[in-house]
Structure formats: C-alpha cells, structure tokens
C-alpha cells in the first residue's frame, strides 16, 4: 500500500512540475507567430516584390512549382502556372520553334483555354493578359504573368487591389470532372464529383419516388387510417 502511494507520488510530482513549467513559459511572441505561420509570413512584402530580405522567394501557397506526373507535392498540388506545362514554362519566347507560328491563332492549339470565363463573359482577348509577341512563358522571370507580379501587372488591370493570393485563381482551369483535374487540381475534381453524386443521387431517388407516389395515388386505393402498416404502434 505504501509502495503504491509512493509510486503515485512519484508520478504526480513530475506531472505537476511539467504543468508548472508550461504555465511559466512565456506567451508566444508575435514575431515567433509570424515566422511560424505559413499564411501570414511577410505575405504582402513577398507577394509584391518576390523577395524576402536578400533572398528571392515565391509567394507562398501560389508557388509556381513544376509538377512531375504522378508525384504530388503538398495537400493541394495545383500550380497557377498550369501543372502540365513542364518544359516550356520558363522561356522568353514560349512559342519559339513552332512551325508556321505566324499563321496560327491562339485557339488553334489552346482550344479549352480560349473558352473560359474571361474570354466568354468579359470578352477579353488572349493578348490582353499574355502580352504581345514574343509571348514569354508564364514563369519566365520577366513575364508579366510570372506569379510574383501577375497580380499587379495583369489581374489588377481589371480587379483593382488584386493580391498574389488573388492571382492564384486558376483562369485556365481543367475540366472539373476530368482525370487531368484529378492530377492537377484535386480539390476541384473531388468537389465536382461530390456534387455530381449528390445531384444524381437525390434526383435518382426522389423522381421515381414522386412518380410512384402519383401512380399509387391515382390507381390504388388509399389506405384507410385503420389499416396502416404500424397501426399497432
């Protein structure tokens, strides 16, 4: 019995000491919080300049990383630089070497990209954002489309006050239900299929349910109150 009490005391004392130690620790300093936060850390400064102190940085969360097929990085591995663009994303002239380039129109190759919300609804042309010839790759350092300045050089022309985060809006998004979206924009992909299953499931249940209700009420005898299924309840 005495031994048990002694063991208990031995356990209680370190716990109490730990608690006391935790209470005596200084509160988190704002500077620590700032450095520790992946959302707030020098966000405005980094976003507008592309630099943190003397180091070149990329705006957090909108890093224009180049993805490798089948290899996912992070929870939401989408890059506004378009994930499938791997080899040609840092060229000064992204169309260099394309045969008969002068005779081609943008939509000849970029079919899906030429039919997005900006072109269809706001009547924007490709060059209003991508600039004139030679059209630099979106990740080329001097391109206005480079994520470090896209918000200021491109988005803010219409969306006054656009931030680097705002420029993370994927203008040329993949088809939401496609495998391409699964690889490059999984959140959109799963959101699409969740809503699709919900829509189809709801209607697949309730349309036949309503139809059968109508049919039964039309042709069948209505159940009298005394004859219901659980009248004994």
Partner 1 sequence: MKQTARIKRFNKTDRIFHLFLMLTFLVQSVTGFSRLFHTTGWGRKLSAFLGGYETSFLIHQWVGILMIVGFILHIIYLLTKIQWNNLRASFFGPDSLVPNIHDLRHLGQRILWFFGIGAPPRFDRWTYWEKFDYWAVFWGLPLLAVTGLMLMFPLATSRILPGWSLNVAVLLHKAEAVLATTYIFIVHFFIGHLRPSSFPMNEGMFAGSLELEEVMSEKPAWVERLKNEGRLEAAAAKRPVLWYRVVYFVFGYAALGIGVYLLINGIIYSPYIQLH
191 near partner 1, rule: CB under 8 A: yes
Find all residues with CB under 8 Å of 66, minimum gap 6, and list them.
Answer: 79, 81, 85, 86, 89
Q: How far is the CB of 229 from partner 1 (least distance, A)?
A: 4
> Contacts with partner 1 in 123-142 (CB under 8 A)?
none
Q: Indicate which single residue of 89, 137, 163, 183 sits in contact with partner 1 (rule: CB under 8 A).
A: 163
Rounded Cα distance between 157 and 83, Å, is 25
Whole-number Å distance between alpha carbons of 94 and 110: 13
Beta carbon of residue 198, minimum distance to partner 1 (angstroms, whole number) = 6
What separation in angstroms does the CA of 19 have from each of 8, 12, 71, 187? 17, 11, 43, 41
Strand partners, 52: 55
Q: How many residues bind partner 1 (CB under 8 A)?
A: 53
CB of 55 to partner 1, least distance (A): 22
CA dist 122 → 126, 137, 141, 195 (Å): 12, 23, 28, 27
* Cβ nearer to partner 1, comparing 35 with 120: 120
- Chain residues 11-30 in contact with partner 1, contact rule CB under 8 A: none
CA distance 124 to 141: 24
Tell me which residues in 66-105 interact with partner 1 (CB under 8 A).
76, 78, 80
Chain residues binding partner 1 by CB under 8 A are: 61-62, 76, 78, 80, 117, 120-121, 159, 161-163, 165-170, 173, 176, 185, 187-188, 191-192, 195-196, 198-199, 202-203, 206-207, 209-210, 212-218, 220, 222-225, 227-231, 233
């Amino acid at each position: 019995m005495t031994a048990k009490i002694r063991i208990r005391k031995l356990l209680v004392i370190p716990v109490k000491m730990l608690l006391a130690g935790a209470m005596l620790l200084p509160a988190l300093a704002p500077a620590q919080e700032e450095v520790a936060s992946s959302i707030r850390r020098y966000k405005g400064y980094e976003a507008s300049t592309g630099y943190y102190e003397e180091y070149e940085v990329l705006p957090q969360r909108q890093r224009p990383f180049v993805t490798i097929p089948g290899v996912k990085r992070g929870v939401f591995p989408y890059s506004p630089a378009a994930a499938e663009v791997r080899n040609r994303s840092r060229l000064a002239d992204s169309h260099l070497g394309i045969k008969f380039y002068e005779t081609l129109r943008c939509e000849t190759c970029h079919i899906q990209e030429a039919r997005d919300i900006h072109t269809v609804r706001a009547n924007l042309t490709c060059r209003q954002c991508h600039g004139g010839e030679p059209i630099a790759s979106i990740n080329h350092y001097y391109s206005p489309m480079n994520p470090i300045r896209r918000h200021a050089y491109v988005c803010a022309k219409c969306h006054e006050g656009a931030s680097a985060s705002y420029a993370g809006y994927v203008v040329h998004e993949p088809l939401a239900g496609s495998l391409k979206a699964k690889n490059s924009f999984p959140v959109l992909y799963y959101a699409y299929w969740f809503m699709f299953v919900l829509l189809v499931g709801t209607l697949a249940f309730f349309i036949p349910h309503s139809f059968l209700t109508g049919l039964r009420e039309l042709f069948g005898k209505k159940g009298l109150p005394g004859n219901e299924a659980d009248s004994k309840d």
